[in-house]
Amino acid sequence: SPVNMIAPVNAMFSRSKTVKFQLHNGSAAAMDLKADDTVLTLKAGETIKLDLPAGTKIVTNTASSAHPAGTLVLEVSSGFGGSTVTLR
């Protein structure tokens, strides 16, 4: 007789792995950034710790002299794990 095996739903729809890294503002001005729906303000010279899913896009939230609002700053990659990413 055939055996019915039901795979758990969470095995099919597993969550993305999160990546722990630091983001450092190496510029002289504050940066307003957005990671998915979360707004981050990074003061000049400040470093913050982040724990985000791989694939998360971080964009500028407000326009600056260097970038218009909505500019892609970085896309989180597993390669960032344990590192510090410096923005200028």
For the entire predicted model, the pTM comes to: 0.78
pLDDT for position 15: 56
CB 77 within 8 A of CB 54: yes
To 5 degrees, how large is the angle CA 60–CA 75–CA 62? 5
In tens, the pLDDT along 53-77 reads 999 999 999 998 888 999 999 999 9
pLDDT for position 43: 96
pLDDT for position 23: 96
In tens, the pLDDT along 11-48 reads 444 456 899 999 999 999 999 999 999 999 999 999 99
Residue 50 has, within 13 A of its CA and on its CB side, a CA count of 32
